[in-house]
Structures are given as C-alpha cells and as structure tokens.
Amino acid sequence: MDKVMRLASEKGVVLFSKSSCCLCYAVKILFQELGVTPTIHEIDQDPEGREMERALMRLGCNAPVPAVFIGGELVGSTNEVMSLHLGGGLIPLLKPYQALC
C-alpha cells in the first residue's frame, strides 16, 4: 500500500501503532528509554486504517501493530525489536536518530 510504504520510508524511526494497543505502548516506552522519539502513526485513528492494517500484515508481521521501520527498513514487530535489542543490534541502528543529550 502506497501510504504505508511512503510513511515507512521516511527517515528516522517509524512506528505504526494503535492507540488502544498496550504492546505498542511498551515499544514506545522502550524507544523512550533508548532516547529515541519515533514518528508514530496511530492507524486506528487514520481513515485508511483498515487498509494500512492489511498492508502491514502483508509485509509479514504477525500482528499489524506494532510495526517498526528504521531508516526505511522494516525491523518487525515486538518480537523482532526485543530480539534485536537483547542481541545488541538495536542501539547501533538507532544511533543516528538518538536524541542528543
């Protein structure tokens, strides 16, 4: 879907979320802890939300949200983000986008 791809390829950290999703909230908290402010798109508040949801599913995510893109590349859902972080691979990806203290 064009909209999803367009939003996803924006620079920086992009998070597709739903305002009611508490797992998305957990991912937001994690980014906060790492000093990153992702661009958040709450698809449940978007008129094209349903389509966006379907598009995200088609990209291979287990659940449509949360879906994380870094620098235009799909990182994945909560599972992938957690695995990446524990493996030490998340912070290097986020380095360019971390808030300057």
Partner 1 sequence: MNSPSTQFVPSRRMGIYEPIHQIGMWGENFKSNGNPSASVIFEVDNKLENESETASHEMLAPSNKHDQEATKPIDKIQRRLAQNREAARKSRLRKKAYVQQLENSRLKLIKLEQELEQTRQQGLYMGGGLEGGHLGFSEAVNPGIAAFEMEYGHWIEEQNRQICELRNALNAHISDIELRILVDGGMSHYFELFRMKSTAAKADVFYVMSGMWKTSAERFFSWIGGFRPSELLKVLVPQLDPLTDQQILEVCNLKQSCQQAEDALSQGMEKLQETVSATVAAGQLGEGSYIPQVATAMEKLEALVSFVNQADHLRQETLQQMSRILTTRQAARGLLALGEYFQRLRALSTLWATRPREPA
Measured from the CB atom, the residue of 8 and 77 that comes closer to partner 1 is 77
Instruction: Report if residue 22 touches partner 1, rule: CB under 8 A.
Output: yes
**Minimum separation from the CB atom of position 2 to partner 1 (A):** 29
Number of residues that bind partner 1 (CB under 8 A): 22
What is the C-alpha R_g of the chain? Answer: 13
Q: Of the listed pieces 7-15, 50-58, 76-84, 92-100, which binds partner 1 according to CB under 8 A?
A: 76-84
Sheet containing 73-76: order of strands: 39-42, 13-17, 67-70, 73-76
Distance, CA of 13 to CA of 4 (rounded, Å): 14
Exposed / middle / buried, residue 31 (Cβ in 10 Å: 0-12, 13-18, 19+): buried
Using CB under 8 A, list all residues that contact partner 1. 20-23, 25-27, 29-30, 33-34, 63, 78-79, 82-83, 85-88, 90-91
